[in-house]
Amino acid sequence: MTEKEVRQAVKDAGVKLLESGLVQGTWGNISIRLDEKRMAVTPSAMDYIRMQPEDVVIVDIETLEYDSPVKPTSEKKIHAAIYRDRPEINAVIHSHPLCSSSVASARMEMPVMSEEMERLVGGSAKCGKYGMPSTKTLTNGAVEAMKDRNACFLANHGILACGKSIEEAFEVCRVMEDSSRAFVESEVMKAKGKDTFSMEDLFDVFYSKIK
Amino acid sequence: MENKFIKQLLEYCAILENDKLTEVGDCISLRAKGGIYITDATKAMKDMTADDVKFITEGANEIEKLHFAIYNAKEDINAIIMNHATYCVGVAKKCKKLYAVLDDMAQIVGRTAKVAASYDEDVVVNTLKGRDACLIKNGGVIATGRTLDEAHTGSLVLEKGAKAYVEATILGNAVKIGVIDAFIMRTVYKLKYSKKDQSAKLAEMEE
């Protein structure tokens, strides 16, 4: 892919994430590896609709330097760290889908919920060590939790999903959200002893746990 | 010429409807010179038309009085969204506070969102002191902002935060964001991160 095509692919992936409900507003960030040394990342604090391909920032994977008046996402470190650690990875999505964010808030390892999850994520989804946004703790925790996996939870934050292509990273993101929903639902059904449940059941379980 | 305030309010009625964050009784408003533009709380957001938005200089009912009381108490805001969202409503029934278990809530709303005991204007204004949003016991959500976009973001983040709090509790371990971490994130967000986007949105509004 040429640089122009990569910029467009980053913009298109942002809009697709937004339209799929896997991210809201300016939250989350996306990158595609341009070559061995560079990645194309989303800009900081700009929503995906307003963002233009020329706003996508080309960042050096080793030094994090960039030559653009537009600031790259503040989470560029985490993207670069994944590319450095995983040469086979060409796209990274950091997002905050609703159900995945719930599991991330529990800082739990999610077991394999489906064959699709096993195939796309590569096993259970671990949770990286908690760290404030843009910190080394968050980055190192994510790299560790992503070992042998294509996704992980970022504690109290969201998820990181990667793939050999942006399309694959998007699919990983989607399966993490589907699996997270199934994970929560299985806990409600287990607590209520039912095969299906209503919102009333869900709140019953919640109220019983906050007593 | 089309009134930009009415146009914006109708746009956000449609957005709230699309987000499934509303029910009849909800209403949104924008501060304008000499008064406020406010939607009709008796109409569903999906049915709202330009004829259902009025410009008022004082409150004629409890909801309108509440909006004026909030604008008078918070000079920095220009928009209010009063809505109902499933998880916020569920949390507000039994909890005194919604704790942030996600860092976007800590950044955009704060470490906690308090639950006001009622829609009484003094109670709500007091609950909103130093905060941009709150929940109402046996009621919905009130989110404020410099723009409707900011108030809408607050409302969305609160519902997402409430869902995460409820579901992480069900999973057995809702880990709250620490006091110091939340303070740092909120400060950085207010001073730096939201400024760029909201400045652009304010400029759009003033065009």
Pairing of strands B27-32, A158-163: unpaired
Pick the catalytic residue: A3, A75, A171, A177? A75
CB contact at 8 A, B20 and B155: no
Q: Of the candidates B153, B181, B197, which has its C-beta nearest A45's C-beta?
A: B197
In total, the C-beta contacts within 8 angstroms joining chain A to chain B are 101
Look up A75 and say whether it is catalytic: yes
pLDDT tens digits, one per residue of A70-123 = 999 989 999 999 999 999 999 999 999 999 999 999 999 999 999 999 999 999
The CA-to-CA distance between both ends of chain A, in Å, stands at 56
> Residue B207 — very low, low, confident or very high, per pLDDT cuts 50/70/90?
low
CB contact at 8 A, B186 and A133: no
CB contact at 8 A, B161 and B113: yes
At B51 the three-state DSSP class reads helix
Closest approach of chain B CAs to the CA of A124, in angstroms? 16
- Establish if B86 touches chain A: CB-CB under 8 angstroms: yes
Q: Of the candidates B90, B174, B197, which has its C-beta nearest A105's C-beta?
A: B174
- Residue the block writes with tokens 């999903």: A161
Distance, CA of B109 to CA of B98 (rounded, Å): 11
A52, pLDDT greater than 60: yes
Q: Give one word for B111, left, alpha or beta, with left for phi > 0 and alpha for psi -120 to 50.
A: alpha
Residues 6+ apart with CB under 8 A from B80: B28, B29, B67, B70, B71, B142, B143, B144, B151
The CA-based diameter of chain A, rounded to the nearest angstrom, is 58
Q: Of the candidates B90, B93, B168, which has its C-beta nearest A102's C-beta?
A: B168
Q: Which two tokens stand for residue A28?
A: 């989350």
What superfamily does domain B4-206 belong to in CATH?
Class II aldolase/adducin N-terminal domain (3.40.225.10)
pLDDT tens digits, one per residue of B132-172 = 999 999 999 999 999 999 999 999 999 999 999 999 999 99
- Establish if A45 touches chain B: CB-CB under 8 angstroms: yes
Across B24-29, average pLDDT? 94
Reported pTM: 0.91
Residue contact A157–B194, C-beta within 8 A: no
Q: Which two tokens stand for residue A180?
A: 């997270």
Of B50, B68, B71, B49, residue with least CA distance to B60: B68
Distance, CA of B25 to CA of A57 (rounded, Å): 45
Separation in Å, CA B31 to CA A166, B5, B7, B36, B156 = 43, 9, 14, 4, 21
* Sequence spans of domains, chain B: 4-206
What superfamily does domain A3-210 belong to in CATH?
Class II aldolase/adducin N-terminal domain (3.40.225.10)
Separation in Å, CA B193 to CA A21, B158, B186, B188 = 22, 18, 10, 7
A19, pLDDT greater than 90: no
Closest approach of chain B CAs to the CA of A20, in angstroms? 13
